[in-house]
Structure 1
Amino acid sequence: MRYLTLATIIAGLSGFVVIIIAAWALGSSGSVTEEFTAYWGLFFAGTGVLTGLTQETTRAVSAARSGVVAASTSAVRPIVFSLAAAAVTAVVLGATAPFWIGRLLSDHQGIGVGLLAVGLLAVGLGSYAVQATISGILSGCQLWKQYAALISLDTGIRMILAVVAWLLGYELLAFLVITVIGAVSWTVIVGFSRPAREALGSLTDVSARVFTRQALTAMAASGSTAVLITGFPTLVKLTNPDTTGQAVTAAAVIYAVTLTRAPLLVPLQQFQSAIIVRFVQGNRSPWAALAGPLAIIWAVGLLGSGLAWLIGPWLFDVILRQEIFSVPGGLLAALTLGATTTATLMVTGCATIAYDRHGLYLGGWVLATVVAVGILMGPWELATAAALALIFGPLVGLVVHLVALFGRGAPVVGLGRGCFLPECPGDECGQQHDG
């Protein structure tokens, strides 16, 4: 697990470095900075949707290998499913591009840049569909060294290229390429690691039909997750195109959201597969399994909120070097608290997937997203709306996950993973029982 810890450090550092360097390279123009962060947010919102493949593949492969549930005679190889998902992703993005590209990139960028941006996004996200599935396979097989290498390469290459682009004076186009380049990292890992290649033949614990349904459910839920996390800059630009006259600019809000959540959410995103495996293979109640991760999240979150209030504005001035990014300490503290509530929802979401409560997992994230978007479109200034949206949206969704884990029909220790009272029919359910 030390490899995964190192990979999360690299991932967290990379996210900081890329967006800070982008601010240095593009920050003299607030509009160009907003365009880059919106494109960055859209790409990672797409990867967020596809992360559902990682989560369900992790669960299905881990369960099949551990013998918690016998592998289905009609089981599917997730890698085959990922190829279809990759093709659909690329085609959908290309076909819908005329409806959204103009709202992300302004006319002065030129039609050539717009077409290239669409092509990069389609190919990048298509490739990431395969990468997300391979991540799930590696996690389910507990090939943590290869999984960590995949994360490190994906995020590290962006950091290195961002530094190079800045030193050479490159601008928006280079940073669009840098945004998507990590999505081909799976080709390197599969090419150089024999265990990774052998793991690609792994089967699921359920039939192809069930796996497809659960993967789509997980993708829908992780898409809602992405709106609140990586896709938030895009949402800000779409819902608040003009912040003229407001105390805090849209560019400042976007950077404040991104930088306050990166220390907590970026590492947690990389650990989600490990958390799901922990829940799948554990024999403890949901509360006992959740207590440790949630205690760490809230300890870090509350400490971070205090530090953000005290020294956050000074750090922004020192690091970003531009007046347009100035943000008050109270807003930074509130946004850090919003990152904490979102992290809580991510962990409870991992638990609901592990216990096969896919419907309520989706419901929690969808409700959180709807509430957050509703607040963001309210009558408040953008800074206030963003803070409220990122705090109260996840809290509302958390209620749904808590019902899934502790309400009627919740998982009960001793009956096997996936068994629920009072509906569990005993041996007919196909689960392993302790007594």
Structure 2
Amino acid sequence: MAYVLAATAIAGAIGYIIQALVPGFVGASEYVAFSVFWSIVYLVVSALAGLQQEVTRATHMRAAGEPPGWRVIGAFGLCASAIALALLGASSPLWAPSLFGAQSAPLVIALLVGAVGYSFVALLSGALYGVRDWGGVAAMTVTDSAIRLCLICGALMIGAGTVVLGWAVALPFAIAVVSVWLFTGRRVRRDAAIDVGLRGLARNSISTVLASTATGLMISGLPFLLGITRQGIAPGLLASLILVITLTRAPLVIPLLALQSYLVVTFRDHPASARRRVVVWSAALVGASVVLAAAAIWVGPWVVNLLYGDRYALPSAAYAFIVLSAGLTGLLCITGPAVLAAGRHGWYLAGWATASVALVVLLSAPLARPEGILVALVAAPLFGVGVHAWGLRARSGASTSRLRPTKAADPEA
């Protein structure tokens, strides 16, 4: 856990620096365009992270005489990346022109490159988690973030526009997976085995990818959702909302999101204590969120004014709602892995899907703006947490033999 938390902290800090740095160098309209592209990239990343969740679940240390699993994982990666390319390429005419205008073509190409790169990041990361190569996991977590920071800083120094910034966001995935494979590939090929074939891996991944897509809508996809539901919101107010949401939600949500695979392994290997850990960790998160939300009323406006002047001003109460919504969204990042580790893919998907649908519906509702946006951010995750809690309750009445606690006999179907 030390490796994972340290790497998560470093990668999270790098992402935070990028998000705080860019609005200081570009105008409000260009910042909105950059944020929307970043949001779409990480919405795709969130969706493809479902591949990582299932590969983590299915991968274990290879026993003597057991066939290696990397060929199946590699073939699965090629299929997954081809599907991602097809879906993104076919759908891009529906949303890219309205969001990016004349810059839509080069940004869509950058997005496609990023999607292919992250497909293999997700699969290699999942395999590394499965064989408990924590050093490799940490390296993968940090490498693409560090490369991204360097490219973004270089682009800002030369005054580059949205297209160059977009490529600086998307390209590091491919560079990182090649770099980390050079050091970890031999062990993965030697040690990784999986408990399902290619069809089983694909079938199980459907629910985890759909759930991860819903996760992305709830977290990294928020600027994208605000961009397509922004009727009646002035560009300056929209930029302010996106900036404050990005900066205040990240410290709570991003670490929990990065720990999803670790939590899956933890709940899987210790099923008897899973429910107790969910309750204790959730209570601690809610308590911390309430305290931070109260502090944000005073600290938030001061920090934003210190960094950006009055360019991105919001009412003080908005900071409290946004921080509280981050904590409630973080609950889904605890209850979700617990449900998935028990093999209840349907409940896992249902919880995230319910929360994301509630968010889209509430954001689209004719409520007062920006008050309606704040209500949507707070209320939506509660629906998903309720579904996950019901799934965990349903699981507790099932036979404990279904939990298959030993890693080799049952990596957690």
Same fold (TM over 0.5): yes
Q: In percent, how many aligned pairs have the same letter?
A: 28
The partner residue of 1:135 within 120, 125, 130 is 125
Deviation at 1:173, TM superposition (A): 2.1
- Say whether 1:91 aligns with 2:77: no
Match of 2:203 in 1: 213
RMSD: 2.6
Provide closer, same or farther for how the CA distance between residues 290 and 117 of structure 1 changes in structure 2, counting only shifts above 3 A.
Answer: same
Residue 119 (structure 1) aligns with = 109
Q: SS at 1:374's partner residue?
A: helix
* 2:39 match: 41
Range that drifts further, 352-361 or 285-294: 285-294
TM-score, normalised with respect to structure 2 = 0.91
Within a 5 Å distance, the mapping from 1:25-424 to structure 2 comes to 25-26=25-26, 28=27, 30-62=28-60, 77-106=72-101, 110=102, 113-184=103-174, 185-198=176-189, 202-244=192-234, 249-319=237-307, 321-407=308-394, 410-411=397-398, 413=400, 415=401, 417=403
| Residue identity in the other structure for 1:417 | L
In structure 2, stretches of 5+ residues that fail to align are none
The answer to whether the 8 Å contact 1:51/1:132 transfers is: yes
Separation in 1, partners of 2:166, 2:115 = 13
Give the 3-state SS of the residue equivalent to 1:77 in structure 2: helix
Moved over 4 A (4+): 64-67, 71-76, 194-197, 408-413
1:88-140 deviation per Cα after TM superposition (whole angstroms, max 9, x unaligned): 2122222222211112113xxx3xx3221111101110121111111111011
- SS of structure 1 residue aligned to 2:403: coil
Could you say what secondary structure the match of 1:203 adopts?
A: strand
Q: Is the CA contact 1:189–1:196 (under 8 Å) kept in the aligned structure 2? A: no
Q: Alpha-carbon deviations, 1:349-376, whole Å to 9, x = none? A: 1111100110011111111111111111
- 1:422 maps to none
Name the CA shift for 1:156/1:241 in 2 (closer, same or farther; >3 Å).
Answer: farther
Contact kept, 8 Å, 1:190 with 1:196, in 2: the verdict is no
Q: Out of 140-149 and 87-96, give the one that drifted further.
A: 87-96
> Which residue identity does 1:317 align to in structure 2?
N
The CA deviation at 1:221 is 0.6
Q: Distance in 1 between matches of 2:371 and 2:188?
A: 49
Aligned-partner Cα distance in 2 for 1:174–1:349: 36
The code of the aligned residue for 2:216 comes to A
Change beyond 3 A, Cα 1:277–1:100:
same
Q: Could you tell me how far 1:411 is from its partner in structure 2?
A: 4.9
Q: Secondary structure at the match of 2:171?
A: helix
In 2, the alpha carbon distance for the partners of 1:350 and 1:132 equals: 16
Displacement after TM superposition at 1:236 (Å): 0.3
* C-alpha displacement of 1:345: 0.8
How far does residue 257 in structure 1 lie from its aligned partner after superposition? 1.3
Q: CA deviation at 1:431?
A: 6.8
Distance 1:376-1:340 versus aligned 2 partners, 3 A rule: same
> How far apart are 1:74 and its partner, in Å?
10
Distance 1:234-1:66 versus aligned 2 partners, 3 A rule:
farther
* TM-score, structure 1 as length reference: 0.87
| Pair 13,382 (structure 1): closer, same or farther in 2 beyond 3 Å | farther
User: What SS does structure 1 have at the residue aligned with 2:370?
Assistant: helix
**Matched residue SS, 2:314:** coil
Q: Matches of 1:74 and 1:21 in 2, distance apart?
A: 42
SS at match of 1:323: coil
Alignment CA distance shift 1:87-1:359 (3 Å): same
Contact 2:127-2:188 at 8 Å conserved across structures: no
**Over residues 66-89 of structure 1, what are the superposed CA-to-partner deviations in whole Å (9 max), with x where a residue is unaligned?**
99xxx8999972232011101121
Tell me how far apart the structure 2 counterparts of residues 292 and 72 of structure 1 sit (CA, whole Å): 40
**Residue 326 and residue 34 in structure 1: after superposition, are their counterparts in 2 closer, same or farther (change >3 A)?**
same
Structure 1 distance, partners of 2:149, 2:335, is 31
How many residue pairs match? The answer is 407
Contact (CA 8 Å) 1:53, 1:218: kept in 2 or not? yes
Residue 254 (structure 1) shift: 1.0
Amino acid at match of 2:297: W
Question: Residues 287 and 119 (structure 1 numbering): CA distance in 2 closer, same or farther, change over 3 Å?
Answer: same
Query: By how many angstroms is 1:296 displaced?
Result: 3.8
Q: Is the 8 A contact 1:22 1:175 kept in 2?
A: no
Contact 1:76 1:208 in 2 (8 A): no
**Residues in 2 aligned to 1:60 and 1:402: alpha-carbon distance in whole angstroms:** 24
Distance in 2 (alpha carbons) for counterparts of 1:240 and 1:412: 48
2:361 partner letter: G
Report if aligned partners of 1:376, 1:382 keep a CA contact under 8 Å in 2: no
Q: Say which is worse superposed, 322-331 or 292-301, in terms of deviation.
A: 292-301
Mapped partners of 1:72, 1:331: distance in 2 = 55
Q: Which structure 1 segments of 5+ residues have no match?
A: 420-429
* C-alpha distance in 1 between matches for 2:215 and 2:93: 25
